Structure 1
Amino acid sequence: MSQLRATKPGLLVCTAVCVCVFLYLRDPAPEELTEPTDPAAVECSFYPDELCLALFEGKEAAPQIAKFCKNPHGSQILAHMHRAGNCSQVSQKVHFITRPLSAEEANFSLAYIVSTHKDLTMFVQLLRAIYMPQNVYCIHVDKKAPKKYKSAVQTLVNCFENIFISSKGGRVARTGFTRLQADITCMKELVRSKFQWNYVINLCGQDFPIKTNKEIIGYIRSKWADKNITPGVIQLPNVTSRTSGRHPELTPEGSIHGAPEGRFKEEPPHNLTIYFGSTYYVLTRKFVEFVLTDIRARDLLQWCRGVPSPEQHYWVTLNRLKDAPGATPDVGWEGAIRAIKWRNEEGSVHDGCKGRYVHGSCVYGPGDLSWIIRSPLLFANRVDSTAPLVATCLERRHRLQALRQAEVPAEPHWHLQQEGESF
């Protein structure tokens, strides 16, 4: 029997609570459906594991029920960290895994670059899902993040030797040179750190793992041993204008940073062929060291100033150099690591967004969970606090998988909070 299915109060209890809420709010405005204000509608008073299981199985009624079942610990993480008093209590009360779960994982460390600027709950859920004590994490906190948010992230990070905040917390647009520079800064600090690691993976605050740490390592070693994962192709003639002049950068809120200057870029340095590909990657340590030292990489980085979305060109172009460590010159689009529902692929690649589209991609709703967990990819994007049950269900499923795969006995605090437990 599934561990998700084995939880006692179950779907019937949540259904009863939520039906009562529905009768109480029988004529709600649309916004009240997604953000109820009546106390009875705020939460189901426990983590609804059987509701999550119903959503994973794609049952039709579950998304309607889920509208009334809100994540019960959403705004409590910061207060809980302050109450914990010391770092030992923080790691336990916030349910971080504190030992390698297998010999394979202990001997194959990953580095992560995570960019964040808001939503502490989502950040903590993401961090504790990808956290393992043998890995190392560089956190880039955007300069525009609220002071309290920066302080909360720093409080948490201070409790872990293998997590640090990037020394250059500049303002980072969603796309543009500052986005690329943030990753380069973290790479420099990861290479200088005392921690050894095999690959680096970059994520944003709306990513969430679908696969466990052990499964991610297995995927890398079986399909990409000593190779970089940077999907992309030679830039087609009809899109060469993307690199032909200065364009504005988009901030995470969608506003414009920097105006076009109306001039054309010079030819790429060293006669490089420019590729177009993914912003997100899995790179070997040797390739990172190459990026930080090779003259072609340094000159290409300078050339990228003013190019729109240079992060979609930089990594994939360098990885197509035949003498680059771990290069994959002929790989094409193979190797995507993030499951995304693009609006223009609706009906062909996926069955439509059950949440809402923002900038052409789906911010997942509970009805998307069955599609997410069927994906063979490593991470889901975009998961955020507007649909807290999505992150809650994914996290609980992810933790159960990790503990089932573990080769060591589970510590009590590795289990996420149970029904009725006050966070």
Structure 2
Amino acid sequence: MSILGCTKSGFMLCVGICIVLLAINNIDPPDQNTSILSEIKECGFYPGELCTALFEGKPAALVVGNFCQEALPPSKDQGPVLLQSMSNCSTFTQEFHFITKPLSEEETGYPLAFIMTIHKKLDMFLKLLTAIYAPQNVYCIHVDQKSPKPFSLAVQKVADCFPNVFVTRKQETVVYAGISRLQADINCMEELVQSNIRWNHVINLCGQDFPIKTIRETVRYLKSKWRGKNLTPGVVQPDHMKYRTQVSYKEFIHMGKSYVYPTKEEKDPPPHNITLYFGTAYYALTRDFVQFVLSDRRAKDLLEWSKDTYSPDEHYWVTLNRIKGVPGSTPDAGWEGNIRAVKWRDQEGASHSGCHGHYVRDICVFGLGDLQWLMDSPHLFANKFDPHRYPVVTDCLERQYRLRVLKEAEVPLESHWYFPDEYTQKADL
């Protein structure tokens, strides 16, 4: 099982994490796909070579076959648990290859804020945080209230190792398509505006996201086209989406089950004669706009009105951002804006040629054959990833992403910033 690329000195740390992850996530025994990377490592092959071949678009089955003719069974997990291993923050940040120094003046001069809403899969959270972490930025983590206690404690321990990472004090029991998902972001915003870091844009992420563009590339994108503007792709609410806001919806939470269901109660029109828009729940918002959301009567009234709608995060941000005069608003904007690369099932054959992993709620969980498509995407982040089902995908992206980050750096590079199998590539940077 490859979680974060173990060094020899960090072997016991990684083994401990494996144990905790097995307990937290109730992982099923690996199938043929999930054991590919561990099989390759058992055969002694360098994952970077495999990743290079996959990024070149070579068929996954052929690539894997060439790397390992006879797979050995994965070794059993044993060793200390994660909470014990993380008692030393200095060791933790080095073992997990965190970059703890600003890499360029350009990034330092344009700090960002990130909201990370998570509920499971500690390894994917760590991959994401490791990838996007920089000391000039600030990170708010919202942990779902229904998350297992060991998971929540582990996330808090991670946050405690960094002065610019924190777990929000107000936590929601998040229900898919419910108001709780939107409220989780707002909870983080209330604390982010109090941060001593004067961030320029806030970007929201979930636990199955991973960056495609580096922080420096993200800063350049936001500064060039969206400086002082909010990025909320969307359009006027289409007729086929009006069912979401025409009747009242309720959240159901009981005995580990949660969902949103419609009632027969019709809703009044939106407050203040606001025209509803429909768009992505992902955004990049300016600090002034966030202050507006937290203080303006129109924003507060729309939030209250949205509490019993279906998936309100897909109309709330884009609607407020289309109001003329609002800080950073883009009243005439449409779907433009490269926020998130997603393969939707109903767009197969149009915007993409198909999902090489599998679909969950009509969204592709990326498989090996999707790597080249991801690299060609202009978007800042991509969704969805599952390191347990398709570990090679996240491992390869993680390594390829780190090499690009270090290649852009304008400061001396430290050895622990590299992943173990990247040392041989230092000369190429």
Q: Which is further off, 232-241 or 376-385?
A: 232-241
1:396 and 2:406 correspond = no
SS at match of 1:418: helix
Distance change >3 Å, CA 84–CA 198, structure 1 → 2: same
Amino acid aligned to 1:218: R
Structure 1 contact 122–205 (Cα < 8 Å) conserved? yes
Deviation at 1:152, TM superposition (A): 1.0
**How has the CA–CA distance of structure 1 residues 76 and 214 changed in structure 2, closer, same or farther, with 3 Å as cutoff?**
farther
Aligned counterpart, 2:180: 178
Assess if the C-alpha contact under 8 Å between 2:34 and 2:391 holds in 1: no
CA distance in 2, matches of 1:132, 1:195: 12
SS at match of 1:323: coil
Q: 1:227 to 1:135 in 2, by over 3 A?
A: same
Give the match's secondary structure for 1:138.
Answer: strand
**Match of 2:267?**
265
The residue identity in structure 2 corresponding to 1:207 is D
1:366 maps to which residue?
A: 368
Matched residues, number: 389
Task: Indicate conservation of the 8 Å contact 2:41/2:47, yes or no.
Answer: no
For 1:212, the equivalent position in structure 2 comes to 214
> Given the alignment, which residue of 279, 302, 313 partners 2:315?
313
Unaligned runs of 5+ in 1: 1-29
Q: What's the offset of the Cα at 1:239?
A: 2.8
C-alpha change, 1:289 and 1:140, in structure 2 (3 Å) is same
State the alpha-carbon separation in 1 of the partners of residues 233 and 378 from structure 2.
Answer: 16
Determine which of 230, 244, 249 is the counterpart of 1:242. 244
- Contact 2:34 / 2:390 at 8 angstroms: preserved in 1? no
Q: Which digits, 9 at most, give the CA deviation of each residue in 1:382-402, with x for residues without a partner?
A: 111210111111111111001
Per-residue deviation, residues 404-423 of structure 1 (Å, max 9, x unmatched): 00000111111112389xxx
Tell me how far apart the structure 1 counterparts of residues 79 and 125 of structure 2 sit (CA, whole Å).
10
Matched with 1:411 is 414
Shift of residue 321 of structure 1?
Answer: 0.8
CA contact under 8 A between 1:365 and 1:390: conserved in structure 2? yes
What is the rounded CA distance, in whole Å, between the counterparts of 1:89 and 1:124 in structure 2? 15
Rounded Cα–Cα distance in structure 1 between residues aligned with 2:103 and 2:245: 45
Q: Structure 1 residue 194: deviation in Å?
A: 2.0
> TM-score, length-normalised on structure 1?
0.85
* Residues 127 and 43 (structure 1), Cα distance of their counterparts in 2 relative to 1, 3 Å cut: farther
| 1:296 alignment counterpart | 298
User: What is the CA-CA distance between 1:63 and the residue it aligns to?
Assistant: 6.6
Counterparts of 1:334-349 in structure 2, within 5 Å, are 334-349=336-351
1:124-135 pair list within 5 angstroms: 124-135=126-137
Show the counterpart of 1:9. none
SS at 2:53 equivalent: helix
* Alpha-carbon spacing, 1:63–1:260, altered in 2? closer, same or farther (3 Å): farther
- Residue pairs, 1:144-155, within 5 angstroms: 144-155=146-157
Other-structure match for 2:380: 378
- The gaps in structure 2 that reach 5 residues or longer are 1-28, 424-429
More deviation in 381-390 or 39-48? 39-48
Give deviations 1:212-243, integer Å, cap 9, x for gaps: 00000011111111110001111123432220
Note the C-alpha offset of 1:89. 1.5
Equivalent AA in structure 1 for residue 161 of structure 2: C
User: For residue 64 of structure 2, what is the aligned residue in structure 1?
Assistant: 65
Distance 2:334 2:151 in 1: 39
Secondary structure at 2:331 match in 1? coil
Task: Report whether the alignment pairs 1:387 with 2:390.
Answer: yes
Distance verdict in 2 for CA 1:85–1:32, change over 3 Å: closer
Relative to 1, partners in 2 of residues 1:187 and 1:373: Cα closer, same or farther, differing over 3 Å?
same
Q: Deviations over 1:147-183 (max 9, x none)?
A: 1111111111110010000111221122210001000
The residue type equivalent to 2:393 in the other structure is: V
Deviation at 1:84, TM superposition (A): 5.4
The 3-state SS of whatever aligns with 1:291 is: helix
**Which residue of structure 2 aligns with residue 5 of structure 1?**
none
The answer as to whether partners of 1:199 and 1:282 remain within 8 angstroms in 2 is yes
8 Å CA contact 1:246, 1:307 repeated in 2: yes
Matches within 5 A, 1:317-332: 317-332=319-334
**Superposed displacement of residue 246, structure 1:** 2.1
1:249·1:308 contact (CA, 8 Å) conserved in 2? no
After superposition, give the CA deviation of every residue in 1:289-341 in whole Å (9 maximum; x if it has no partner): 01101110010000001110110111001000111111000011111411111
| Aligned position for 1:223 | 225
The answer to whether residue 203 in structure 2 is matched with residue 201 in structure 1 is yes
Conserved? CA contact 1:77–1:121, under 8 Å: no
What is the CA-CA distance between 1:257 and the residue it aligns to? Answer: 2.7
Answer whether contact 1:102 1:406 (CA < 8 A) is retained: yes
* Corresponding residue number in structure 1 for 2:18: none
Question: Which residue of structure 1 lines up, in the alignment, with residue 117 of structure 2?
Answer: 115
**Identical-pair percentage:** 52
Distance 2:62 2:297 in 1: 53
Amino acid at match of 1:223: K
Query: How far does the alpha carbon of each residue in 1:101-138 deviate from its partner, in whole angstroms, 9 at most, with x for none?
Result: 00011111000000111111111000010100100000
SS at 2:115's partner residue? strand
Matching residue's letter, 2:419: L
Q: One-letter code of the match for 2:359?
A: Y
**Residue 268 and residue 44 in structure 1: after superposition, are their counterparts in 2 closer, same or farther (change >3 A)?**
farther
